[in-house]
Structure 1
Amino acid sequence: MKVIQNIIGGLAGALALNILHESVRRVYQDAPRVDLVGEEALTKIAESAGTEPPKGDKLYAATLAGDILSNALYYSVIGTSKKKNLLATGLVTGLAAGVGAVTLTKPLGLSDAPVTRTDKTKALTVAWYTLGGVVAALTIKALRK
């Protein structure tokens, strides 16, 4: 039961992150464009595997699905902490993901411009991943009651 609660919490955090990202990026030019980083990564992975990467809407959909799945799994780890530590674990886990998104993109061979374009973009990237971690932690905590 605890594993399912963790996965549901992780999914809630991932969905919160992606809903925020997808909503704000359409109206605010300094919004992070993690979707572009994901599309670049998926294209490179497909090409290195010798397959034709998806294009257009199919690339976008595959990237969004992969992002939600990977973030859900990542955020579900928050549930391995004790109930009294869930919120702190969610904060730290989300913060680590945000800092990683800003600092690891370039070393991984991807363009970091979509997440480092301005100081606001960097701050929003870190804040949004942190929010995802908090949502995951609060969801897991609520499910444990």
Structure 2
Amino acid sequence: MSAMKLLKNIIGGLAGAAALNLLHETARRLDPETPRVDLVGEEALSKGLETLGIEPLTGNALYTATLAGDLLSNAFYYSMIGAGKRKYLVARGLAYGVAAGIGALKLTEPLGLNDVPVTRTQKTQLLTIAYYAFGGLVTAWVINGLRKKV
């Protein structure tokens, strides 16, 4: 993969991750049934730090570190959507997004985390998948736009 293609994939991944987080942060302030992936992330970060013997963060520091980690990990994941032919970018974006949403629902409890913030209602579960699918689609659209010949 060329350096330029890799850069475009990373930019697309960052755009998708930012769109996902913007959607999540906005929606959670408006609707109590929205997924609270942020709470799952905070729990995961706290448990990870404890495992390493590091005092867990609290308050705004925990929120900020979780948000930064979420942006970076989702950007890395979403950037993989750009691997492969441009013809299938949107389909890959949707598939990666849906897979990430299902993973958020199905892997939380086996990883020892509280799954209630993402599974508490059917609406919450559907929105979890939809939010990640949205991030995947934004990624695909941005990468596609960057790859067009000018």
- 1:27 CA displacement: 1.3
Distance in 2, Cα, partners of 1:12 & 1:142: 12
User: What is the CA deviation profile of residues 38-67 of structure 1, one whole-angstrom value per residue up to 9, with x for unaligned ones?
Assistant: 000000000000000111000000000000
- 1:82 CA displacement: 0.5
Distance in 2, Cα, partners of 1:39 & 1:115: 13
Matched AA of 1:122: Q
User: What is the CA deviation profile of residues 57-112 of structure 1, one whole-angstrom value per residue up to 9, with x for unaligned ones?
Assistant: 00000000000000000000000020000000001000000000011100000000
Matched AA of 2:36: R
**TM-score by structure 2 length?**
0.96
Aligned length: 145
State the SS of the aligned residue for 1:127.
Answer: helix
Structure 2 unmatched ranges of 5 or more:
none
State the SS of the aligned residue for 1:134.
Answer: helix
State the SS of the aligned residue for 1:110.
Answer: coil
Q: Within 5 Å, give how 1:69-84 maps onto structure 2.
A: 69-84=72-87
Structure 1 unmatched ranges of 5 or more:
none
Matched, 1:87 2:90: yes
State the identity %: 63
Q: Who is 1:113 aligned against? A: 116
Q: Who is 1:14 aligned against? A: 17
Distance in 2, Cα, partners of 1:27 & 1:85: 34
**TM-score by structure 1 length?**
0.99
